[in-house]
Amino acid sequence: MYRRFMSDATGSDDGDWEAIIEFRRIGTALQVVAIDPETGREVSMVGDPRLSQHELGRIAAQKLRYVLNKQRAAQSDG
């Protein structure tokens, strides 16, 4: 299942930012993948399927935002 999250779901100040979120059931867990459509960068996490997809997607999108910001900071330093 795929879902798009806009920046308001991630707590970002950038109103144009969005992430593509993918959910995959793996045994008793739920793998959540967040993909930045502009860069193709993706992160994944495993979560408790008892949590809502909105909550799991929000956490995955926050992780993606963190990775993108860290990557941008490293590029500007080097």
Residue ranges per structural domain of the chain: 2-77
Which residues of the chain are modeled with pLDDT < 70? 1-16, 78
Q: Element (H or E) spanning 78, and its range?
A: none
Question: What is the pLDDT at residue 5?
Answer: 59
The pTM score is 0.79
- 39-48: b or e for each residue (b if 16 or more CB lie within 10 Å)? eeeebeeebe
Question: What is the pLDDT at residue 9?
Answer: 47
| The three-state (H, E, C) secondary structure of 13-63, written as one string | CCCCCEEEEEEEEECCEEEEEEECCCCCCEEEEEECCCCCHHHHHHHHHHH
Question: What is the pLDDT at residue 1?
Answer: 60
Question: What is the pLDDT at residue 21?
Answer: 93
How many other C-beta atoms lie within 10 A of the C-beta of residue 5?
Answer: 21
Question: What's the CA gap between 68 and 42, in Å, rounded?
Answer: 9
